Amino acid sequence: MLTPLRRFCESERDWLKETTAALVRLESPTTDKAAVDRCGHELASRLEAIGGRITRLSRQDRGDHLLAEFGCGTSQILLLGHFDTVWPVGQLERMPLVERDGRLHGPGIFDMKAGIAIGMLAVRALLETGAPLSRRIVMLWTTDEEVGSASSRQAIEDEARRSDAVFVLEPSLPGGALKTSRKGCGGYDVLVRGVAAHAGVDPAKGASAIHELAHQVVRIQALQDLARGVSVNVTTIQGGSRTNVIPDEARAFVDVRVPTMAEAEKVERALRALEPVDARTRLEVSGGVDRPPLERSAAVVRLYDQAREIARELGQDLAEGGTGGGSDGNFTAALGVPTLDGLGAVGDGAHALHEHVELSALPDRAALIAGLLTGL
């Protein structure tokens, strides 16, 4: 069964390249709803052209998410990803869509518009070769992954609960390896309230919020334990109002990445337990881990083993690994739904000026996904 799928995907290289390029040309920064919706309109049209039943999930402040259904059945498999990017409109002038040395370059191509095209070709391969489908295939393409998925999380979790498995078409790890674990991501705001005073006339009457925050930054940084995969970093600081005033307010943002929810809870308890060094100041800690980790569970390993076996039959090696960045697959895995991530394009340069995909690898990835869909 895999041979016809592979041959079909190989024969559609030009279609795959053209579809990827069309999406890249429609720049879609998360914060520009009009631009994202222009890209979404083109994507919806192309999904309909390959047989998808489209539902637009309208949002007021973000681009509309797209749900596409193929086939029928009482159960489903979810293909998940996003078409928003970190690049502003106009980035194409600085990062033109160009093919060079077997690579296609452009803003958002690796993260993750080529992944969308790969998923579309995989479904085309099944439908057009007559491969048996015992489940419905659902695609959910969202528009706010790059800023935390606030407007799409409910839809992601709803579709995941209906699904037997979730395949996330985010970029692969170097060399094409899949992502079988991702750290959970969170952020905390640490606010210090002090007492203002004249810095020259009455400094002793003041309680510096900045001094207190400096003590707390040292304590916070001590929570980091890279050997356990826990990173805790103060990434921004604000404080003070004038150069001659003892500051009565200062705040820091703390970026937290954790491999398990158990580690997330440890960091949470430690941050909530912080106490002032200067009793005249007060601490207020808010925030939390809002994107749970994708843990390498037995269900994830089973999916990876299936993918590795299919890759072998296709003549490919398929490694696995983890990453400190989060994706929408974190949400689905946290629900206990078997989730496999990093099935998208092979390339490099996510969020970087050298962003590109390896053209020769695109049909292979589509064949791998098609094989997974039939294998389940």
Kindly report, residue by residue over 90-121, the tens digit of the pLDDT: 999 999 999 999 999 999 999 999 999 999 99
How high is the pLDDT of residue 74? Answer: 87
Kindly report, residue by residue over 183-220, the tens digit of the pLDDT: 999 999 999 999 999 999 999 999 999 999 999 999 99
As a whole number of angstroms, the distance between CA 197 and CA 211 comes to 14
| Upstream peptide bond of 95 is cis (omega within 30 degrees of 0) | no
**Residue 75 structure tokens:** 């159960």
Q: What is the mean pLDDT of residues 71-88?
A: 96
How high is the pLDDT of residue 73? Answer: 85
Q: Give the pairing of strands 76-82 and 136-142.
A: parallel
As a whole number of angstroms, the distance between CA 65 and CA 47 comes to 13
How high is the pLDDT of residue 119? Answer: 98
Query: Domains (ranges, CATH) in the chain?
Result: 2-182+294-375 (3.40.630.10), 184-291 (3.30.70.360)
